[in-house]
Structure 1
């Protein structure tokens, strides 16, 4: 059974929204009638996502190509959403880039990439969106990862930034509860376009990964990850904040 939501009164920002999990969430929100600002650094993906989302003939879609690693651009994101929609109800910090390397090969630049595209934009956008979120009793959805929760090899830079985001989110959840702003996290496993390419290139490795997941499949970006994002943005989750939702098919090794 698929739960439906009426988000015709919701104004949503999704960073990294033009592909993968971000596009899956954008699709779910647009289908539910939301006004969505899709932010991404990739011009080609932005153009394609805009076409796909507008073809749904549902919620309003605005796109913005920008590099979120610069704080001035983060202010631009907030300003664009407020100008286009009149306010912000939901902030989803999904974008993140990183390098995979053994721990001893990790460099300052590797950590800088992960924190500058993940942790710092999440922090900046939360601060910048705070007045709007307070005025509208909004919600924030950030992204954690099993890479940090489980300490996945070669993922030190990514794991460090993701766990920093978790700490930041829990503090904000406590501080902002008085303002009726909720802050939660999703830790996903999903079959994105990149994973599908990896599946073709390394089918045995892909099969081994799927076999370790109790539900024996990877999540769908829209119907699995997007569905949880809809729930966390809805009144149905009004008593939930500061939580990490493991949307991973039951992969208990990532706990």
Structure 2
């Protein structure tokens, strides 16, 4: 008897759905845009005609990413060194963006920090660092950009997660920080809606090729079974998240604000832990070889 194969969701770039000049003349300001999901979203938005400024702490990485983004899209990308925990550096990055492009239409708040640690082994400083990058960093980015986004009647996207929707072992710090990000976005949507500004949250699930999944995902034979965990037959891709970002910045989403969008192929509804539970919390040393990162 032939085996029954589950459906596997196809992938398609946003350029197959939205017109190439969708964002012509628009400017994106993206924190964390030098790598991963935020770099992927920046590239997708630039492919529809937008210029971009990407912000991060490592200038060499930003400069390399900006060259790659320009080469891939034909649009200008400005690298701006800055730390979201330091408001002055964000204001400087915003000033450089305005000097270069004259406006800011879209903002992606994507700078983030993550590592695995149980509450019992988590220092106050480590917890504070993640909250400062994710939650306070989002607040600082909003404060630095909001005057310009008001002028352009633009929109915000905040990169969150699904970790805090249920309890996720070793992720208390990130869960707390991302819950704060979600709350900030909702309040921003209500306060700035009358000024013509929208704010939404993207909550990626397990996304292949990202630093987070490199640390958390299973190795070896367990990885072969991984795709069976997802209702749509595979892990998400950076492109999947980018496609939703393009939609949420587009005129098609002009009445969409104050929402959180999971991009996880419905995996949240059947979510299981990436590592065995409760063994992982009772004897964490025994699960080190089951994941790609370190506990």
Global fold match (TM > 0.5):
yes
Structure 2 counterpart of 1:37: 53
Residues 76-155 of structure 1 mapped to structure 2, 5 A cutoff: 76-155=92-171
Pair 1:4-2:26 in alignment: no
Residues 185-224 of structure 1 mapped to structure 2, 5 A cutoff: 185-189=201-205, 190-194=207-211, 197=214, 202-221=219-238, 223-224=239-240
Secondary structure at the residue paired with 1:224? helix
8 Å CA contact retained: 1:13, 1:91: yes
Structure 1 counterpart of 2:247: 231
Distance 1:238 1:226 in 2: 18
* Structure 1: gaps of 5 or more residues: none
- Cα deviation, 1:144-180, whole Å, max 9, x if unaligned, reads 2111112211000011000011111111111111111
Distance 1:195 1:102 in 2: 16
Secondary structure at the residue paired with 2:72? coil
Q: Which shows bigger deviation, 99-108 or 167-176?
A: 99-108
The structure with the largest alpha-carbon Rg is: 2
Aligned-residue offset at 1:41: 1.9
Structure 1 counterpart of 2:196: 180
Secondary structure at the residue paired with 1:36? strand
8 Å CA contact retained: 2:90, 2:140: yes
Aligned-residue offset at 1:208: 4.7
Distance 1:243 1:199 in 2: 27
8 Å CA contact retained: 1:92, 1:141: yes
- Cα deviation, 1:19-78, whole Å, max 9, x if unaligned, reads 110111111011111011011223343233122112125222111122222111121222
8 Å CA contact retained: 2:59, 2:79: no
- Cα deviation, 1:99-121, whole Å, max 9, x if unaligned, reads 32112222211121111111111
Secondary structure at the residue paired with 1:56? helix
Structure 2 counterpart of 1:52: 68
Distance 1:169 1:248 in 2: 20
Distance 1:70 1:225 in 2: 28
* Structure 2: gaps of 5 or more residues: 1-11, 272-295
- Cα deviation, 1:214-245, whole Å, max 9, x if unaligned, reads 11222221x21111111111111000000000
Aligned-residue offset at 1:253: 4.1
Query: In the superposition, relative to structure 1, how do residues 103 and 174 fare at CA in structure 2: closer, same or farther (>3 Å)?
Result: same
Structure 1 counterpart of 2:279: none
CA RMSD of aligned residues (A): 2.0
